[in-house]
Amino acid sequence: MTLRKQSFLNKIVIIHILSFVFAKEINDVSFPHSNIVFANAKFDLVSNGNSSNRYIWLHGDEQTAKMALEYHIKKYQGIAFFIDSETREIPFQSTIIDPNRIFSRKGSYHALRKFKPHWPPGTLKNALDMLDVERKEFLNVLMPDESGYLVSLHNNFRGYNVYKEKNKSQKVSIKKTENPRDFIICTDENDYEKLSSGPFNVVLQNKLPESDDGSLSWEALRRNVRYLNVETRLGYLSKQKKILKFIEEVLD
């Protein structure tokens, strides 16, 4: 082997080692992983940069939403919360509960009794007290400050669509060209004005309903947090990615 060829090979080896070290560093610095537990469910946290924006995937059976968020958090800054579950309901004590029905004590009461109507004396109160403590800690980490917003990603399977949200909404922008099962729910009127000028279905829900079902949107509204629910048909990954990208571009 000539000396020239040898030095060329050495350079290649060095470049390979450097790129490996560099890639690992980017991985560690930009996307530190950690987790947090709420109602026995572990949430994996993926963060990118320093933005106040927060994203959450709550229903384990809505895999398109998970993939959309995995893609999105690599490109845009914020912290993404991924529930460690493959099913909609999560096991909790001796029953299962919908993780998007436990963001209030009242919602939790109904969620705990849905699949287990009868609890031995005192045990339901204990479970509710435990959820109260964990919820407070979880929401302290999840909720963005005033400069950010919270995006929740969901998928629907059959009948659910934007028209089912009409009665709960203060303003509605439904586009003829869009499928009614793909839409955004937002809780901030300024956000609504910006989002509704785009191509997607958008509804504004900035008034608390009479009966709180314990979903995250109402808790965000109580806290005056800008909340956005991105809902698409299961399997429509590129649609969900496009709506997320649109939100990032239109809102500040």
Looking at 54, 101, 154, 181, which residue binds Zn ion (CB under 5 A)? Answer: 154
Angstrom CA distances, 126 to 39, 105, 112, 184, stand at 13, 12, 12, 36
Name the minimum Å distance from CB 157 to Zn ion. Answer: 10
Per CB under 5 A, contacts with Zn ion among 209-248 are none
Alpha-carbon gap, residue 232 to 229, rounded angstroms: 10
- CB of residue 193 to Zn ion, shortest distance in Å: 26
CB 101 within 8 A of CB 215: yes
| Choice between 67 and 124, CB closer to Zn ion | 67
- Exposure b/e, 48-78, CB count within 10 A at least 16 = b: beebebbbbbbbbebebbbebbebbbeebeb
**Contacts with Zn ion, 17-56, as mask; x by CB under 5 A:** ----------------------------------------
Tell me the C-alpha distance between 210 and 63, whole Å: 32
CB of 48 or CB of 85, closer to Zn ion: 85
Stretch that binds Zn ion, among 8-16, 18-26, 41-49, 152-160 (CB under 5 A): 152-160
Residue number, 59 or 72, with CB nearest to Zn ion: 59
Q: Determine how many CB atoms are found less than 10 A away from the CB of residue 195.
A: 23
- Which residue lies nearer to Zn ion by CB, 62 or 182? 62
Would you say 48 or 219 has its CB closer to Zn ion? Answer: 219
- Size of site (CB under 5 A) for Zn ion: 3
Closest CA to 178 of 85, 131, 243: 243
Q: Which one among 59, 66, 181, 241 touches Zn ion, defined by CB under 5 A?
A: 59
* H helix count then E strand count, the chain: 7, 11
CB-side exposure of 54: number of CA atoms within 13 Å? 23
Assess 66 for contact with Zn ion (CB under 5 A): no
Shortest Cβ 27–Zn ion spacing (Å): 29
Q: Which residues bind Zn ion (CB under 5 A)?
A: 59, 62, 154
